[in-house]
């Protein structure tokens, strides 16, 4: 027994010495520094937070941006995406960006209007009426001026992404103008959207995208305006199964970075980022149309969902009721944006 214990003890000591030798524990020389470790030191990480699902125009665009930037930089730049508001939500993502807690976000234009009121021009209803005009405007001069306004709040504006036109989803039909009366309508926080629903005699309720589903479950709202891809990807239609294809407003995203972070990047990295965004721009617009078209087909195939089209006469009634909104905008904000927007649409589209 004594021999057995002594033998085991010696065997354990030999094993420990051998293991330590293999792990270089007794070595006095520094560990070799390989290229991969050096690469990690140089790596730049862009944390990109957004609030929608991955299978949406913005979710897919974020993934495409990641793919292009990582490929063009040979992995030197890594883009970490946080979808579905898992990191920040509508209320705090802009602050998180400005404090460099994340480096990139892409909020809906409406959500910027509290900070930069001129942005409301893109929230005005029935100004942009088709995809061609939408693409022209989001790539045009007004959009560039709006992005430029971000400089004043420590943000670098990069480009606009698209998610098409907003529709009305509700628990009971909203087709005729009178059917808005008294309806509690969830909207994004925006003075113009608030004004819009006041003019329609509805009760506007501004909430964060992340709580829309639970608000519907708890029956604290009756309707909302959103794109088909947002309605379908978040399954809002399971509760708001009456959908009116009104195309009354647009939903677009301002893609932005923390300005100091942007300034800290070498010119070649900045170029990789702007080149990637430029390369994917047409693709992004096509994707937005595609997602909304396909998701509409799914909704049409669902027998629990009713889809309504607005006929010309009814649409004109909506437009007439909303007429005062344009002077409301001009009285409160820099009116030249609206004139420029109309010029941009009318002069360049036959």
Q: Which lies closer to ligand LMR via its Cβ, residue 53 or residue 78? A: 53
Q: Which lies closer to ligand LMR via its Cβ, residue 251 or residue 325? A: 251
Which helix (H) or strand (E) covers residue 225, if one does?
Answer: strand 223-226
Q: How many residues of this chain interact with ligand LMR, rule: CB under 6 A?
A: 10
> Which among 205, 209, 256 has a CA at the least distance from the CA of 234?
209
Q: Of the candidates 65, 209, 318, 337, which one interacts with ligand LMR according to CB under 6 A?
A: 209
User: In the range 129-168, which residues lie near ligand LMR by CB under 6 A?
Assistant: 163
Which helix (H) or strand (E) covers residue 249, if one does?
Answer: strand 242-258
Smallest gap from residue 290 Cβ to ligand LMR (A): 16
User: In the range 217-256, which residues lie near ligand LMR by CB under 6 A?
Assistant: 226, 230, 251
- Interacting stretch for ligand LMR, rule CB under 6 A, among 24-32, 50-58, 96-104, 265-273? 50-58
- Interacting stretch for ligand LMR, rule CB under 6 A, among 51-59, 117-125, 151-159, 194-202? 51-59
Smallest gap from residue 326 Cβ to ligand LMR (A): 23
Smallest gap from residue 173 Cβ to ligand LMR (A): 21
Give the chain's count of helices (H) and strands (E).
Answer: 14, 9
Q: Which lies closer to ligand LMR via its Cβ, residue 52 or residue 345? A: 52
Which residues lie closer than 8 Å to 192 by C-beta, 6 or more apart? 110, 113, 120, 123, 124, 325, 328, 329
Helix/strand/coil (H, E, C) string of 136-201? HHHCCHHHHHHHHHHHHHCEEEEEEEEEEEEEEEECCCCCCHHHHCCCEEEECCCHHHHHHHHHCC
User: In the range 273-302, which residues lie near ligand LMR by CB under 6 A?
Assistant: none
Smallest gap from residue 229 Cβ to ligand LMR (A): 8
- d(Cα 133, Cα 162) in Å, to the nearest integer? 12
Neighbours of 219 (CB within 10 A): 10
User: In the range 100-129, which residues lie near ligand LMR by CB under 6 A?
Assistant: 108
Q: Of the candidates 46, 47, 49, 51, which one interacts with ligand LMR according to CB under 6 A?
A: 51
Q: Which lies closer to ligand LMR via its Cβ, residue 58 or residue 156? A: 58
49 phi/psi in degrees, rounded to 5: -105, 135
> For binding to ligand LMR (CB under 6 A), which residues are involved?
51-52, 58, 108, 163, 188, 209, 226, 230, 251
């Amino acid at each position: 027994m004594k021999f057995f214990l002594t033998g085991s003890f010696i065997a354990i000591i030999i094993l420990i010495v051998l293991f330590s030798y293999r792990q270089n524990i007794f070595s006095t020389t520094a560990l070799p520094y390989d290229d991969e470790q050096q690469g990690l030191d140089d790596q730049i990480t862009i944390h990109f937070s957004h609030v929608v699902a991955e299978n949406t125009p913005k979710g897919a665009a974020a993934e495409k941006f990641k793919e292009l930037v990582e490929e063009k930089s040979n992995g030197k730049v890594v883009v970490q995406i946080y979808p579905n508001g898992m990191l920040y939500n509508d209320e705090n993502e802009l602050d998180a960006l400005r404090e460099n807690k994340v480096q990139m976000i892409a909020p809906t234009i409406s959500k910027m209007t509290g900070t930069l009121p001129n942005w409301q021009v893109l929230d005005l209803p029935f100004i942009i009426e088709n995809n061609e005009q939408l693409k022209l405007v989001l790539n045009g001069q007004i959009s560039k001026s709006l992005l430029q306004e971000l400089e004043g709040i420590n943000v670098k504006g990069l480009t606009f992404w698209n998610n098409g036109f907003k529709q009305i989803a509700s628990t009971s039909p909203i087709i005729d103008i009178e059917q808005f009366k008294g309806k509690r309508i969830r909207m994004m926080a925006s003075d113009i959207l608030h004004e819009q629903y006041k003019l329609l005699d509805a009760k506007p309720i501004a909430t964060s995208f992340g709580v829309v589903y639970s608000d519907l479950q708890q029956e604290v709202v009756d309707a909302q305006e959103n794109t088909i891809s947002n309605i379908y990807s978040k399954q809002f239609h399971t509760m708001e199964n009456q959908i009116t294809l009104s195309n009354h407003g647009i939903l677009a995203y301002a893609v932005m970075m923390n300005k100091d972070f942007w300034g800290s990047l070498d010119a070649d990295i900045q170029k990789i980022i702007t080149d990637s965004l430029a390369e994917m721009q047409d693709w992004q617009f096509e994707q937005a149309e595609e997602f909304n078209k396909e998701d509409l087909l799914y909704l049409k195939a669902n027998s629990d969902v009713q889809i309504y089209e607005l006929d010309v006469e009814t649409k004109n009634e909506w437009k007439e009721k909303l007429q005062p909104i344009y002077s409301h905008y001009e009285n409160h904000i820099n009116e030249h944006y609206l004139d420029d927007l109309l010029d941009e649409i009318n002069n360049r589209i036959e």
